[in-house]
A and B are shown apart, each in its own frame.
Chain A
Amino acid sequence: NAGVTQTPKFRILKIGQSMTLQCTQDMNHNYMYWYRQDPGMGLKLIYYSVGAGITDKGEVPNGYNVSRSTTEDFPLRLELAAPSQTSVYFCASSYPRSGSPYGYTFGSGTRLTVV
C-alpha cells in the first residue's frame, strides 16, 4: 500500500539512550518532514527535507538529527534521550506543486516514552 511507513510504533527508552525512528515513503514525494505532537500543543516541526541530501531545521530541532540519503527514507535520530522527548512523532511527505493545493501524507506515528 502506498503511503508513509514509520517504525517502530512504540518504544520506551532510558535517559541517555539513543535510537533512530525510521520513516519511508513510496510516493516519490520530494518533501519530507518530522513533527512531534504533545497534548494541547499541536504539531511542532522538528526537521524537514526538500530532497535527497538536503535537510533543514524546523521549530524544535534541539536533541535530534536527520539525514536524507534517498528520496524514500528520512530517519530521525535521538542521540541522548531526555524525558522532554517523550512524545508522539509523525513523519510526513508532500509533493508541492505551484498553483495547486497540496497536502501532507502522514505516517501512523511512533509513541516514544523516555524514563
Chain B
Amino acid sequence: QQQVKQSPQSLIVQKGGIPIINCAYENTAFDYFPWYQQFPGKGPALLIAIRPDVSEKKEGRFTISFNKSAKQFSLHIMDSQPGDSATYFCAASKETSGSRLTFGEGTQLTVNP
C-alpha cells in the first residue's frame, strides 16, 4: 500500500524559529510532492509543491528540501510567525494514478509569540 509517513505529530516553536516537518515515502513512482496548510475549521490549501527533478524549492519563507535517494522530503518555515500556526500535511502522487494524493498524518504547528 502506498504510504507517506510524516513527523512530528505536533511541534511548538517560538516566533522567529525554523520549524522543520519531515515526510518519507515508499513508492518510487511518486512524482509530485505538495504541502498543504490547514487552519482550524477550514479545508487544506496548497502551500508549495516540488517535483523530484530538483532538490530544493523556495517560496517566500517556505522551503521544501527533497532527497530522492532517501525517499524523504521536508518543509522548513523560515522566521516563523504566530500566523503560521496551523496543521501541515505532506502528500505525494504519481501522474498515472489520476493525480490521487496520498497524505501524511499531519503536523500541528504552534508558533508562540
Interface residues of A (CB under 8 A from B): 4, 31, 33, 35, 40-45, 48, 50, 58, 90, 92, 94, 96, 98, 101-104, 106-109
Interface residues on chain B, size class: 20 to 34
Quick check: B42 and A96 within 8 Å, CB to CB?
no
Say whether chain B's binding surface is mostly helix, strand, loop, or mixed.
loop
From A41, A48, A109, B100 is in contact (CB under 8 Å) with A48
A-B contact count (CB 8 A): 58
A97 CB to closest chain B CB (Å) equals 10
Set of chain A residues within 8 Å of B49, measured between Cβ atoms: 101, 103
Set of chain B residues within 8 Å of A107, measured between Cβ atoms: 43
Set of chain A residues within 8 Å of B100, measured between Cβ atoms: 33, 45, 48, 58
Q: Quick one: closest B residue to A4, CB to CB?
A: B43
Quick check: A42 and B103 within 8 Å, CB to CB?
yes
User: In the complex, A37 Cα to B46 Cα: how many Å?
Assistant: 16
Q: Quick one: closest B residue to A3, CB to CB?
A: B43
From A41, A48, A102, A106, B44 is in contact (CB under 8 Å) with A106
